[in-house]
Amino acid sequence: EPEVTQTPSHQVTQMGQEVILRCVPISNHLYFYWYRQILGQKVEFLVSFYNNEISEKSEIFDDQFSVERPDGSNFTLKIRSTKLEDSAMYFCASSESSRTGVHGYTFGSGTRLTVV
């Protein structure tokens, strides 16, 4: 069964440093997303991406964050000048359409980001 692959699985970074989280969505999917989950809290939407541009972003997704699809397979989330409160699980997801149909969204296993 097709999977969304995320790397690394765990990233530890110093406060103020930049991190790049990487994702390989399912190949025939057109919509890509980043979500995050702070320990013990809800899964929160960060950004959706379609046709090589951001289609929607949340209030969390400020100038500190950026996304890119540098080639035909990778989808990255860059966090600049990390803060302690950025520590969370970051999930990449993809879908065939924004209207999901019967297939829902496919999430990756996540990257656990720890800012120290």
The site for another protein (CB under 8 A) is made up of: 4, 31, 33, 35, 41-45, 48, 50, 55-56, 58, 89, 91, 93, 95, 97-110, 112
Q: How far is the CB of 91 from another protein (least distance, A)?
A: 5
> Is 35 or 86 the residue whose CB approaches another protein more closely?
35
Cβ proximity to another protein: between 50 and 74 the closer is 50
Give the pair of three-digit tokens for residue 104. Answer: 């829902």
From CA 33, how far away is CA 47, in angstroms rounded? Answer: 6
Q: Compare residues 59 and 85 and give the one whose CB is closer to another protein.
A: 59
CB of 81 to another protein, least distance (A): 25
Rounded Cα distance between 21 and 113, Å, is 9
How many residues appear in the chain?
A: 116
The DSSP bridge partners found for residue 31 are 50, 95
Q: Of 49 and 79, which CB lies nearer to another protein in the complex structure? A: 49
DSSP secondary structure letters along 11-45: EEE-TT--EEEEEE--TT--EEEEEEE-TTS-EEE
